[in-house]
Amino acid sequence: MFRKSNALPGFKRTLGFTLFYLGLLVILPAGGMIFRVVQLGWGGFWHNATSARALASYELSFGASFFAAAVNAVFGTILAWVLVRYHFPFKRLVDALVDVPFALPTAVAGLTLANMFSPNGWLGQFLEPWGIKAAYSRLGVVIALTFVSLPFMVRTIQPVLEQMERETEEAAATLGAGRLRTFFTVVLPTLMPTVMTGFALSFARALGEYGSVIFISSNMEYKTEITPLVIITYLEQYEYAAAMSIAVVMLFISLAMLAAINLLERWAGRFQS
Amino acid sequence: MAGIVNHKRRGATVKSQRGSDEPAWVRWLLITLGLAFVGIFLVLPLVNVFVQAFQMGLGFYVKSLLEADTVHAIKLTLLITCITVPLNTIFGMAAAWCIAKFDFKGKAFLITLIDLPFAVSPVVAGLMFVVWFGRQGIFGGWLEEHDIKIIFAVPGMVLATTFITFPFVARELIPVMQATGTEQEQAALTLGASGWQTFWHVTLPSSKWGVIYGVILCNARAMGEFGAVSVVSGSIAGSTETIPLRVDKLFHSASMAAGVSAFAVASLLAVLALITLVIKSYLEWRTERDHALAQEATGEVGN
């Protein structure tokens, strides 16, 4: 690492401290886990990482996170649009409330959502007659993941919508395009990369979530067990090799998601000013 | 990732413009949809926490909070937060200084590394520390010989919480420090101030709201962290149980009274969330106002 000429002091010291801190807290711990899994050998790793139980949990974790991100892509976009473009009473309060899932500890979110969606809860009682089981089912997992990842969607779209030039929309209208046509041919294409970034952020957040899900899910093997829970269960049974192998899979997926989000952000940035 | 979530928005005033407005019924439909979603999905769960917490009366609520194990959990949560937040604040300032004020190779990679805890599952984070310090871990034998406990003890919980919360201050401070540039610091140095003096009297005052913002978010997350802490703690009542772990244990015990107690303890964390949101909104309102005032001032000079 080389720095450009700059008269300010403290570069070496602060960078040194930063790297030391990150090394101790991130590189060493992650390295140790990867090292242990490498010791297992490819066969051992593959056997543990693709056990039937692990595969079932990947299916649920990826599927539920995808659905949650998709629900957020629709409602999060509507919410961001309404907050940026329209005026209505208590708008500031509503805007602040979008951060509730971010500020509320996940255990509390899981606790209250499980209670609300249980058969005699505030919302569950309306779903019960229709035969919809929300709490303690796969639907419950989707509900919890939608809750925790909503702010990522809204807060990604909001600033982009605010900076969007309205001239192009007006030009389209002047040229005779209806509002619907303007939305689909002018607004949506400009907004799409940002919605995809928000989708990726929501998805990444949902994939790793643990706290809220274990409250609202029935946590049944092969059925409603998310991947982070499988890791914990193996750990509690002293099956370290299995726990670590699955954790390494999750770790590399997180790294891939971070890389994908960086690329998406750069791509979305091209569409703004 | 937090950089996006906590993005401070400029107060963009949107005037209604002919030709680029939706018909009134579409507007009201979208507003209704948005508000219904917020009401059902964000407000109702929060209200439900308090309604459930008080369903057996105020007396039972207070009794739940004064239970010995709960009091211990509150104290432990405060202890862990008091260690974690200052550590991560110092880290955040150091990281923001070298990233915002200097250019060097590998900067983008360093920022990605700081973002890592946002993407990694808390469970995976907790497991990393078990791999090093657990009984069968890399240091496990040595630690046992010397009678040092890290996993299923407070040090491990501090480590896990520190990992989960270290990006917050750094992520908030980097854009703030970048925006102020380096001219003021360079002027102070030219006038003979030392590096530390420059930092205390020039850099810190101009970025203090960024620091406070980051600390508030870091604090909220540290107090509420569940996944990573539950992996390393072992949840021993009266010993290694934090507030969120206590909520979990009460929820999973069979008695109905314990279920209500779970909500009573959870309501503490809900109050914490509300306080965090209020301070966060206040800080955002302040930055918006300062920004508007600054724009007005430059506008006047321009005229």
ipTM: 0.91
Band the pLDDT of A168: cuts 50, 70, 90: confident
Domain B58-302 class in CATH: mainly alpha
Q: What is the pLDDT of residue B3?
A: 44
Residues within 8 A of B (CB atoms), A 245-264 only: 247, 250-251, 254-255, 257-259, 261-262
| B104: three-class secondary structure by DSSP | strand
At residue A65, the pLDDT reads 97
Rounded mean pLDDT, B194-208: 90
Q: At how many degrees (to 10) do helices B167-180 and B208-224 cross?
A: 170
| Region A172-198 average pLDDT | 87
Give A87-137 pLDDT, tens digit per residue. Answer: 999 999 999 999 999 999 999 999 999 999 999 899 998 998 898 988 899
B187 at interface of A, judged by CB pairs closer than 8 A: no
Q: Do B226 and A215 touch (CB under 8 A)?
A: no
Residue A6 C-alpha from the chain's centroid? 39
pLDDT for the residue numbered B19: 53
- Choosing among B47, B104, B121, B191, which should be mutated to test the A contact, i.e. which has the most A CBs within 10 A? B121
Write out residues 14-33 of A within 8 Å (CB-CB) of B: 14-15, 17-18, 21-22, 25-26, 28-30, 32-33
Q: Flag the least confident range among A219-223, A229-233, B62-66, B274-278.
A: A219-223
How far apart (Å, rounded) are the C-alpha atoms in residues B19 and B97? 47
Could you report the per-residue pLDDT of B97-110, keeping only the tens digit for each? Answer: 999 999 999 998 89
Nearest-neighbour CA in chain A from B285: distance (Å):
10
Instruction: Answer whether residue A2 shows pLDDT above 70.
Output: no
On chain A, the residues whose CB falls within 8 A of the CB of B132 are 28-29, 32
pLDDT of B245-276, one tens digit each?
999 999 988 788 999 999 999 999 999 999 99
Please tell me the least confidently modeled range out of A222-231, A259-268, B45-54, B244-253.
Answer: A259-268
Distance CA A238, CA A62 (A): 26
Domains and CATH numbers, chain A: 53-270 (1.10.3720.10)
Structure tokens at A109: 């979110």
B226 contacts in chain A (CB < 8 Å): 105-107, 210-211
Percent of chain A with pLDDT over 90: 74
Please say if the pLDDT value at position B4 is more than 80.
no
Q: Given this model, what pLDDT does residue B300 score?
A: 58
Of A3, A122, A231, the CB nearest to B102: A3
| Tokens standing for residue B236 | 């021993």
Choose the closest CB to B120 out of A107, A147, A251. Answer: A251
CA distance A264 to chain B (A): 12
Q: What is the pLDDT of residue A271?
A: 61
The average pLDDT across A244-263 equals: 94
**Could you say which of A105, A150, A228 has the minimum Cβ distance to residue B123?**
A228
Instruction: Give the CB-side neighbour count of residue B53, counting CA atoms within 13 A.
Output: 25
pLDDT at A179: 83
Mean pLDDT, residues A66-79: 96
Domain boundaries, chain B: 22-53, 58-302
For chain A, what is the mean pLDDT? Answer: 91
Cβ–Cβ contact B280 with A under 8 A: yes
User: Count of A–B CB contacts within 8 Å?
Assistant: 321
Residue among B45, B134, B189 whose CB faces A113 most closely: B45
Is it the case that residue B95 has pLDDT exceeding 90?
yes
Mean local confidence (pLDDT), A155-175: 87
pTM of the model: 0.91
For A3, the 3-state DSSP assignment is strand
Are the C-beta atoms of residues A246 and A44 closer than 8 Å to each other?
no
Whether A3 and chain B come into contact, CB under 8 Å, resolves to: yes
Rounded distance, CA B110 to CA A203, Å?
Answer: 23
Alpha helices, H only, A86-137: 91-97, 100-103, 106-117, 124-127
